[in-house]
Amino acid sequence: MSERLREVVGQLAIRPDDRVLEIGCGQGVAAAMVCRLLSTGTLTAVDRSTKMVEAATRRNAVYVASGKAEFLIASLEDMNLGDRRFDLVFAVRVGLFHRDPDRARELVRPWLAPGGRVLSFFDEPVRSRV
């Protein structure tokens, strides 16, 4: 597993009963780490790529089967989660959170529970020198 993602998940300060929303879940690596920290909490993870959501769902099949996690195909701008509320919304390397954090936070505001937190992480990929 990615050391970088381990560090990110460590900074999330997940509580066992948190309702967590991950924006841009990719292949579900961080989602798996988050689910291991939840007992009664749940994870909803979204990505705009069908291929990534399929991979994340396969990687986290045990959490999906237990009802602890769900993976949805959606873009942040078009996402409709109804009346759900989340204690934590996080994104890792999601361009909008880097380019326009105010807009990104405004887009997720409807799904934040009172006292909910929004955390985003963006770092430049490490490039090897040849």
- 11-60 residue pLDDT tens: 999 999 999 999 999 999 999 999 999 999 999 999 999 999 999 999 99
In a domain, 91, yes or no: yes
Distance CA 62, CA 36 (A): 11
Domain holding 71, by residue range, is: 16-120
**Tally of domains in the chain:** 1
129 belongs to a structural domain: no
Strands in 86-92's sheet, in edge-to-edge order, are 69-73, 42-47, 19-23, 86-92, 112-121
In this structure, are residues 31 and 58 in contact, taking their beta carbons and an 8 Å threshold? Answer: no
Q: Tokens standing for 122?
A: 């963006």
CATH number for the domain including 34?
Answer: 3.40.50.150
- The per-residue pLDDT for range 64-115, each reduced to its tens digit, is 999 999 999 999 888 889 999 999 999 999 989 989 999 999 999 999 999 9
Give the predicted TM-score (pTM) of the model. 0.91
